[in-house]
Structure 1
């Protein structure tokens, strides 16, 4: 029996996989998986693509344990909390320096980002996202939902130095962020699926 791509997406979601991981495993765009799960993939003129089962899945990336962040120079800087008004706040001030930051839940990183304007300013935008800041709005919702369910979300930061390669500038924090996204499964990073 054959399953449609949409059936495969729904089956992986029922197994508890995040949209980004489903997209990565099925080698499809994030938006396609998202639309199927939100019920927006139906079109009278475009039928689902039929694919034979079982499908060959891409090997999963490993999770990023907090020990790896610490071994690489990351330090615990703060934790996300919900204020009495339901706003996101930090339990301690974070560095103003440029760097890379990680959100950690249950001893594994779930998101990695780079702060080219400074870590403090970047994290502020998650707590108070502007109306056009889609990533900040998305992460604000993820963080609030996770905090509402239980536990805490720790924030680890690192400030790798900039360097040169063959006389060209290399941004240390951006390189670390991209390297982590490419190597590890980070469910809140959309680019981690590709």
Structure 2
């Protein structure tokens, strides 16, 4: 397909096409599928594009070390931390997003895993089963559910499966005050690991 971006297929041209499609509101997985490139290629281009410009280095001394990129979250780390496989995302014959097994009803944390790496982590304060139901049938005002619905469908069009791992940590106390175990675990994982489908970061 010829477009105004085509200049011989250079890496600069591909990067421009990735940014243009992202500006149109396409998910990273859909951009990768359309351009026939790897997901990580599109993700890195968009991530670099979102970084703030770096000021010039002062000549008075050595530059400060750059912030270390967060590592990916392997499924082995989840399992070692108490997560368990609960099911897989699938497409139904009616092209709806469904889970192949009944999910726990407890409040907890869930992770979407592709190719052995967690791409998304969330907390289900209403219960895991109910929360994930809305990813398959998002309401008109549920922007996160709508976004993940599109992302998961695009990924399942090219990937074998997206696995769902869950954990149900206990609530705690600190100096007599209540601490929500699931919310704390979710935030801790987002803060420490690179989760490409999570829009919210943790500074």
Structure ranking higher on relative contact order (CA contacts 8 Å, 6+ apart): 1
1:17 alignment partner in structure 2: 43
Answering whether residue 114 of structure 2 is matched by residue 105 of structure 1, we say yes
Of residues 62, 80, 86, the one that matches 2:95 is: 86
2:134 alignment partner in structure 1: 125
Q: List gaps (5 residues or longer) in structure 2.
A: 1-11, 20-40, 58-64
- TM-superposed CA distance for 1:193, in Å, is 7.2
> Does the 8 Å contact 1:186/1:192 carry over to 2?
no
- TM-superposed CA distance for 1:59, in Å, is 2.3
> Does the 8 Å contact 2:43/2:196 carry over to 1?
no
* Number of positions where the alignment pairs a residue of Structure 1 with one of Structure 2: 161
Of residues 160, 165, 171, the one that matches 1:162 is: 171
Answering whether residue 146 of structure 2 is matched by residue 137 of structure 1, we say yes
SS at match of 2:200: helix
Task: Provide the alpha-carbon RMSD of the alignment.
Answer: 2.6
Q: List gaps (5 residues or longer) in structure 1.
A: 1-6, 29-49
Label 1:149 to 1:173 Cα distance change in 2 as closer, same or farther (>3 A). same
| In structure 1, C-alpha distance between the alignment counterparts of 2:49 and 2:122, rounded to whole Å | 20
Q: TM-score normalized by structure 2?
A: 0.72
Structure having the larger proportion of residues in strand:
1
